[in-house]
Amino acid sequence: MDRHAVRGIADFLAGNGFAVFNIDYRLAPQHRWPAGLDDCKAAVQWLLGSDFPVNSGKLFVIGASSGGHYALMTGLTLPRGTVRSIVSISGIDDVFIDSRFWPDRYKALLGKTPDEKDLTEIDPATCLTADAPPILCTHWRRDEVVRFAVCTAFEQAAAEKGVKISVYSYDDHDRQFEGHGIWIPGTSPRRLYPDLEAVIAAFMKEVISE
């Protein structure tokens, strides 16, 4: 995703005292899976090997929409202990459910019509283990870009694996014409609604304090 699209999230996090590294990753269909995931993981590995004073015990991976899927896959496939926690904002948390609504997304991502094996390999729940980092998923119940069902399915899968997962769901009628229901209309750069910013900041600070 173009990092400029989520600059508002970066600004909000920086305003809460977090150092932020906002990255681009390659997009389908020009670049098929796993190119984008490779970029995300390479960014984490580069950062940890850089001269920046990064504490991996406080490293969060955050993404929205398709970026939420990449955040989950990045945080869950890197060696345990690399990432402290993961935040998926209206993310594609369960590709099996999402693919039923939007099959063309996966044709573009994989360059073919996926079978069950293909979906299993790119499904975040496949990577869940009891020692996975804590996860926060936020989702609007009326989201028609990524249906809320993907969030509830992933929450159940994580709970069954013993993963610490928090879910913030909301049903705000004022957001019904805004796709994901996460951006304040007219903001530039786009900012998350205050309730989302508050929930994300509180979650991150709680995880760090543990």
What does the pLDDT look like over 183-206, one tens digit per residue? 998 899 999 999 999 999 999 999
Q: Are 119 and 105 within 8 A, CB to CB? A: no
Share of the chain above pLDDT 90, in %: 88
Residue 68: phi, psi to the nearest 5?
-65, -40
Among candidate residues 160, 96, 92, the one with its CA nearest the CA of residue 129: 160
Instruction: Give the largest CA-CA distance in the chain.
Output: 46
pLDDT band with cut points at 50, 70 and 90 for residue 6? confident
Q: Are 145 and 65 within 8 A, CB to CB? A: yes
Tokens of 4: 């400029």
Pairing outcome for strands 85-89 and 165-170: unpaired
DSSP 59-117: -EEEEETHHHHHHHHHHHHSPTTS-SEEEEES----HHHHHHH-HHHHHHHHSS---HH
pLDDT band with cut points at 50, 70 and 90 for residue 4? confident
Contacts of 129 (CB under 8 A, 6+ apart): 80, 161, 163
* Confidence at residue 54, expressed as pLDDT on a 0 to 100 scale: 83
What does the pLDDT look like over 82-122, one tens digit per residue? 999 999 999 999 999 999 999 999 999 999 999 999 999 99
* Confidence at residue 176, expressed as pLDDT on a 0 to 100 scale: 65
* Confidence at residue 79, expressed as pLDDT on a 0 to 100 scale: 96
Mean of pLDDT values over 13-42: 95
Q: Domain 3-188 has what CATH class? A: alpha beta
Mean of pLDDT values over 29-49: 96
Domain assignments of the chain as residue spans, ordered by start: 3-188
Contacts of 34 (CB under 8 A, 6+ apart): 122
Instruction: Note if the pTM is more than 0.85.
Output: yes
